[in-house]
A and B are shown apart, each in its own frame.
Chain A
């Protein structure tokens, strides 16, 4: 294994499903040693989630788990037991970062809150990732991805007026929280170099949405009283900022600059802006179009769009430098010639699940490349490695802990 960006960094992950594990994955894929602590017998919830090859559920074959846990070690430990908690604290004595996702009250009840852990290892950085964060009136509220995006305002931006708002797909907020956690953890690591002290990183998924993704709306609201609404397939302000059907799917059509829009109009008018457009004074101002004539404009474009396929339109757009893009499905993405040429997807072989293409590096580092050196671990695969080789437990002690339900 070559030298990696984060080689030497020791991370413990007491987290499951997506947010905490994605945070751990970023650190692990860039070289940190990430030890994942899973519940004995059942393990990480993502193991039950799938997708499974041939739709046959198997905790070692969940696609979501396999993707999110590359390059990690897995040990089983029941932190609901006093022995388990003591073992966890022993492990944390030599760790740099703990990632955890339990409700704050539960961590307190277990004696695993930041203050307690700080006493165990004052240099430890604790990254807590929850729906609503470690403070505030909703701190103890239960929250899934759908609730965090609701409070954080992303939900209010998608869908149609009069119908229910749409929560983002694929628990996207969990991923955003994971990256925010990894970024802030790195900030805390640099702060520790000066102070010698660890600190508590508080990530609230609702806050991640409310700041990074919808935060600028608040400034518009205060400055101009503007409110973001659910505008369906388009966003007013400029036309086109829309998604429209074509022959075999949808095109995402945004032209912020006037010359981009003109290029498109010339494209559909055989080299000239169509007469119906150039002769109509209502179409002179694209803000006005977006506010008053968007439906009409959608209709005017429909005959050309629905006569052409995504591939045909995209080819023309690339040629004429029009910044539109097809709305692609995952088959088109995975088989995309561009991503193939870039070798973005990486093949990962797992001893039980088999070999599949996984999404690759979110970023390419020239000196310390991202790589999957080891596939996601089997449940408790590294129990002996950690408990016996690192902590010096005897085989007998390990067995006793196992039968005692601790590991």
Chain B
């Protein structure tokens, strides 16, 4: 994200322990330079190979940090300290450095050494337990939501710290526990508990103040449309859009609370209408009447969606291992500084020369020796 906003981001990795994003579950070739997730997520970054386990790497890292504004790390809590690279050590090297650590559960506290993957963190943080059909078993988000969530909060917080540094000249250390960052976006469920002792369970598509509020089956195989009706005006518009069938006059659906009480039956009746239509056609009909609706797009359908295409949601980028990739744009669009892919996702160690020779002014022989010693590796 910082790279998308124009920062020069140097990613430090090593062949002795390949970044797991280079060997994601979707990497069918098992080639670190040809991982679809890496190609999409790790762009606008340069890559150097430097093995932190080699003592000779540490002074090099420090020299690089000396000319940097921000250090980002997400190792387990003890790693940076073990390598003499924790914040107090880096502050000695560069007093105004901004350092952000993004551990799973935090640098202190009883669970600090817990090993966890992102998708389990949403379980630990109380969010996964809400995902499942209403009242049925937990299914969970099945996404690395916690990782993305803390990355996004992390980028914001780093920029806030940079703003402070511009004003005062002072750097600082940011500890962002992914667990806590997930709880921060579940405020409503927290307040339910602290105010009323109420614990929410699997919610399905139930929404306490909207009905209809669901994803409904459409005509073709596994096509669904999302519909949300909030106000009574929207309900009237909805009834009109579907042709005012007689059942819409039933007192069971007369107001929001009646509709919520009878929502299963209502959902079946709504499906009678949606299941005859293409999900885009149904969307258009509802939207024309002022009803919130959108097709539930899967991976393929998103790629071809005219709106997402018009907004350049996916960008075409050349890559030496694949020819052409389509990668995700930024989450935002800035009118004067649109995101540009200045650097496609880097090959492992692709920018060693630039960083070691140009930035760190290393002589050819020294660099060759460090490569031979597997420090630059």
The CA-CA distance from A169 to B204 in the complex, in Å, is 8
Chain A nearest CB, measured from B280 CB (Å): 11
| Residues of chain B in range 1-57 having any CB-CB distance to chain A below 8 Å | 1, 5-6, 20, 24-26, 28, 34, 36-37, 39-41
The CA-CA distance from A235 to B117 in the complex, in Å, is 13
Q: Which residues from A are CB-within-8-Å of B245?
A: none
Chain B nearest CB, measured from A112 CB (Å): 16
Given A224-B36, A328-B123, A362-B184, does the pair A356, B194 have CB atoms closer than 8 Å? yes
Number of A-B contacts (CB under 8 A): 519
- Contact between chains at A328 and B126 (CB < 8 Å): yes
Given A207-B308, A362-B153, does the pair A342, B109 have CB atoms closer than 8 Å? yes
- Contact between chains at A165 and B215 (CB < 8 Å): yes
| Residues of chain A in range 315-344 having any CB-CB distance to chain B below 8 Å | 318, 321-334, 337-339, 341-342, 344
- Contact between chains at B109 and A341 (CB < 8 Å): yes
- Contact between chains at A210 and B302 (CB < 8 Å): yes
Contact string, B256-280, partner A, CB cutoff 8 A, digits 1/0?
A: 0000000000000000000000000
Please classify how large the interface on chain A is, using the bins under 10, 10 to 19, 20 to 34, 35 or more: 35 or more
- Contact between chains at B128 and A327 (CB < 8 Å): yes
Q: Which residues from A are CB-within-8-Å of B130?
A: 169-170
Q: Beyond A158-B141, A206-B307: 19 further Cβ-contacts under 8 Å? A: A67-B188, A146-B213, A151-B294, A151-B305, A151-B308, A155-B215, A165-B224, A183-B331, A202-B335, A216-B36, A235-B142, A241-B119, A245-B137, A338-B111, A338-B112, A358-B190, A359-B184, A360-B184, A366-B175
Given A6-B163, A142-B292, A183-B155, does the pair A175, B185 have CB atoms closer than 8 Å? yes
- Contact between chains at A207 and B331 (CB < 8 Å): yes
Q: Which residues from A are CB-within-8-Å of B26?
A: 216, 219-220, 223-224, 226, 237
Interface size on B, residues (CB 8 A): 155
Chain A nearest CB, measured from B10 CB (Å): 19
Chain A nearest CB, measured from B164 CB (Å): 4
CB of B358 within 8 A of chain A?
no
Chain A nearest CB, measured from B311 CB (Å): 5
Chain A nearest CB, measured from B211 CB (Å): 12
Q: Which residues from A are CB-within-8-Å of B224?
A: 150, 155, 164-165
CB of A54 within 8 A of chain B?
yes
CB of B116 within 8 A of chain A?
yes
- Contact between chains at A199 and B334 (CB < 8 Å): yes
Q: Which residues from B are CB-within-8-Å of A326?
A: 123-124
Q: 18 A–B contact pairs at CB < 8 A?
A: A53-B196, A64-B188, A138-B294, A155-B215, A160-B139, A167-B215, A168-B141, A176-B148, A183-B155, A191-B334, A218-B302, A243-B123, A327-B124, A327-B140, A330-B200, A333-B126, A342-B109, A359-B190
